[in-house]
Structure 1
Amino acid sequence: MSTTPDVSPSRPFEPFALGVCSWSLQVKNVPELKGFLDQLGVDVVQIACGDPHHASWDEGDDLPAAAKAAGFRMTGAMLGFPGEDYTTPQTIQQTGGFGDPATRPERLERLAWALDRTRALGLTDLMLHAGFLPEVDDPARSALLDVLARAGDMAAAQGVTLAFETGQETATLLRRTLDDLKSPNIKINFDPANMLLYDMGDPIEAVKILGPDIRSVHLKDARRPKVKGAWGEEVPLGEGEVDVRAFVQALKGVGYRGPLVLEREVGDQQGRLRDVAHGLAFLRECLAD
């Protein structure tokens, strides 16, 4: 079963096309993004909607027209919510996604805006963090699933697939949640490093559990936390505990043939650019193997 995203037939993605997350390059406008992509030798990007968390754009409301005219290929858009706090695992558990009941109404409004932006960009995929998913026996689970189901319905009405990012829960819990939601418009944006940063299991085994619903992939690397309840450490691709070669083979094994989009969220702009270039070279070696 192929899980490659739908794209325009005139601009198809070859299997495992390599790309970069726009926010990883800390760009402020489309020409700067295009220049860095040219420098890196790729033309595939997952683009930030323009929200405060994942980067604003100098183009403002003109971003969709500017991005579509730039000549690069976009795999999807990424939404972050104002107020999400990644200082510690505990702060993001309190503030991430749709986890806090008090922020759900305004975040559903923000989702509606992002769905419009996604369509304006000519895209059919929107990635975001759902928030920490409650365990099956948690009384708070039902209300959160109701909100996620509503989000899925909003996306379906726009012809958009929502891809929830992995890492803040085990693959087993995420699998159970997707099965409970039964929403054809809710899939997964798989990030193996997040599972290590949050210490939530083995990313290779997680691919096997979640395989049919993997819609897109962020690739970064990390080491597990040394102290329980603390962050793990994000490191350049190939220098951490993600077995990248085994990860790519696992993706092939579940039928994924979509793009591999590198993400780097540590360091200044030049350091990130250097690490992304290193990651792309390393990933090309893994794919050649």
Structure 2
Amino acid sequence: MAIPPLAIGVCSWSLQVTNVPELKTFLDKLGIEVVQIACGDPHHASWAEGEDLPSAALAAGFKMSGAMLGFPGEDYTTPQTIEKTGGFGDSATRPERLECFKWGLARTKALGLSDLMLHAGFIPAVGSPERKAFLDTLATVSELAQAAGVTVAFETGQESAALLRRTLDDLKCPNLKVNFDPANMLLYDMDDPLRVLDLLAPDIRSVHLKDANRPTVKGTWGTEVPLGTGQTNTREFVKALKRIGFTGPLCIEREVGNQQERFWDIEHGVRFLRECLAS
């Protein structure tokens, strides 16, 4: 089903749902119909429907913008733990994670989708001895995705936008894109998202809308806050997305609080984004 430009959506895992009817109920309460859906891997967000998730989701009547894949063993306790365990960063886990990625590609296709989002891991700097092997792995990701007819979008945040830009340019893989999450840049204490948007604009495939404040202590996490109340400057970010010609959905992500608290914050986020779009 076609999704209108800049339609407001939500990330399914933010609602902490466990089955498709529960997701549909929350979407109806929010008054939206677009969702970026978790693949259903046990680590990221499992579904009661199991292998029947694709058929259940396709029959539910909502619009899916893409799928999200997490990897077993990823540890977000601290920035340091996710640096060691995130994405394809650890060479020891790459073979099993490529197998998990293949599963994610199959699930994406079964959902009737052509976009898969994930965290690539901390990209080694130019000149690092680990860089070539890491980029070779991402090239393999591209090849597998191309064979499946899927575009892969890497989440922003762990590295500078300049390093991500250089990496995409070095890879020259047209099906490797960016899932731009402005709040992640603040949570990891990296770039100012508004200043680097243009640098990544040619490859922005999707966005997550959440808000955050930078950490006050170096090496710790920043603080995620309700949309429109932090340092992301969401109102200007939405204007900037319009300016660069982005036409994908605006998928709200909220990863703090219990299910009811998240729902309230996402409900607030929907109202806030409607105001931003109206202005």
TM superposition score normalised by structure 2: 0.99
Aligned amino acid, residue 144 of structure 2 = M
Partner of 1:223: 213
2:2 and 2:47 map into 1 onto residues whose CA distance is 26
Secondary structure of 1:82 counterpart: coil
CA drift of 1:223 comes to: 0.1
1:53 and 1:243 map into 2 onto residues whose CA distance is 31
Aligned amino acid, residue 159 of structure 1 = G
Of the three residues 163, 167, 170, the one matched with 1:177 is 167
Structure 2 matches for 1:154-173, cutoff 5 A? 154-173=144-163
Partner of 1:74: 64
Query: Over residues 160-190 of structure 1, what are the superposed CA-to-partner deviations in whole Å (9 max), with x where a residue is unaligned?
Result: 0000000001110000000001001100000
Structure 2 matches for 1:134-213, cutoff 5 A? 134-213=124-203
1:277 and 1:235 map into 2 onto residues whose CA distance is 14
CA drift of 1:156 comes to: 0.4
Query: Over residues 83-105 of structure 1, what are the superposed CA-to-partner deviations in whole Å (9 max), with x where a residue is unaligned?
Result: 00000000000000000000000
Asked if residue 242 in structure 1 is aligned to residue 228 in structure 2, the reply is no
Aligned amino acid, residue 60 of structure 1 = G
Query: Over residues 217-267 of structure 1, what are the superposed CA-to-partner deviations in whole Å (9 max), with x where a residue is unaligned?
Result: 000000000011000000000110011121112112222111000000000
Secondary structure of 2:251 counterpart: strand
Of the three residues 242, 267, 270, the one matched with 1:252 is 242
CA drift of 1:54 comes to: 1.9
Query: Over residues 191-221 of structure 1, what are the superposed CA-to-partner deviations in whole Å (9 max), with x where a residue is unaligned?
Result: 0000000011110112110001000000000
Aligned amino acid, residue 245 of structure 1 = R
CA drift of 1:158 comes to: 0.3
Structure 2 matches for 1:69-108, cutoff 5 A? 69-108=59-98
Secondary structure of 1:47 counterpart: strand
Partner of 1:284: 274
TM superposition score normalised by structure 1: 0.96
Q: Unaligned regions of 5+ residues in structure 1, if any? A: 1-10
- Give the stretch that moved more between structures: 213-222 or 51-60: 51-60
CA drift of 1:53 comes to: 2.5
Secondary structure of 1:217 counterpart: strand
Query: Over residues 44-71 of structure 1, what are the superposed CA-to-partner deviations in whole Å (9 max), with x where a residue is unaligned?
Result: 0000000123210000000000000000
Q: Unaligned regions of 5+ residues in structure 2, if any? A: none
CA drift of 1:72 comes to: 0.1
Partner of 1:4: none
Of the three residues 32, 40, 45, the one matched with 1:50 is 40
Query: Over residues 105-158 of structure 1, what are the superposed CA-to-partner deviations in whole Å (9 max), with x where a residue is unaligned?
Result: 000000000000000000000000000011101110110000001001100000
2:174 and 2:206 map into 1 onto residues whose CA distance is 15
Secondary structure of 2:74 counterpart: coil
Deviation above 2 Å: which 4+ runs of structure 1? none
Q: For the aligned residues, what is the CA RMSD?
A: 0.6
Number of residue pairs matched? 279
CA drift of 1:38 comes to: 0.3
Asked if residue 12 in structure 1 is aligned to residue 6 in structure 2, the reply is no
Identity, in percent, stands at 71
Partner of 1:5: none
Secondary structure of 1:183 counterpart: coil
1:207 and 1:117 map into 2 onto residues whose CA distance is 30
1:206 and 1:272 map into 2 onto residues whose CA distance is 28
CA drift of 1:35 comes to: 0.3
CA drift of 1:268 comes to: 0.1
